[in-house]
Amino acid sequence: MLTRVDPGPAVVVCNTCRHSRESRDDTDGVRGGVRLVEALTRLKAAEPRYAGIAVQEMACLFACQDHCTVHLRAPDKVGYVLGRFGGDADSARAILDYAVHYAASEHGRVPFSLWPEGVKGHFITRTPPPGFVAE
């Protein structure tokens, strides 16, 4: 089933993601995706510069080898799937910092010089928006 959400810039978080490649849950028995949702939500609420980025959650993005996975999307922009994050505040900040640049970009391409260190090496795939292919 599908649930309608705001179509604006969003970080869609897999809330069922593993904690790590080796472990489904952390030492408290909580999945990594749940921890990442919590960290993103807390940070977004605490810092007004993230107000334009929605944090949405969804069960299983089918990227299980790349635990703590997110899909970054916005209308008429190339989307990105990123993974291998921790469910911590540092990962959340890197994701949201990148998302701010992404939302401000014309087509979803953010110059590498603006990438937060915490997202480098975490990209899994890019996806074209409906009705387009990327050059």
pLDDT tens digits along 15-62: 999 888 888 888 898 899 999 999 999 999 999 999 999 999 999 999
Q: Which of 127, 17, 23 is nearest to 74 (CA)?
A: 127
Measured CA to CA, the distance from residue 76 to residue 130 in angstroms comes to 7
Kindly state the DSSP code that residue 52 receives in the 8-state scheme: T
Helical packing angle, 32-46 and 89-104, nearest 10°: 60
Rounded to 5 degrees, what are φ and ψ at 96? Answer: -70, -35
Q: How many residues does the chain have?
A: 135
Domain boundaries, the chain: 10-127
Instruction: Return the CATH number of 10-127, one of 3.40.30.10, 3.40.630.10, 3.40.190.10, 1.10.10.10.
Output: 3.40.30.10
Interval 77-110: pLDDT, tens: 999 999 999 999 999 999 999 999 999 999 999 9
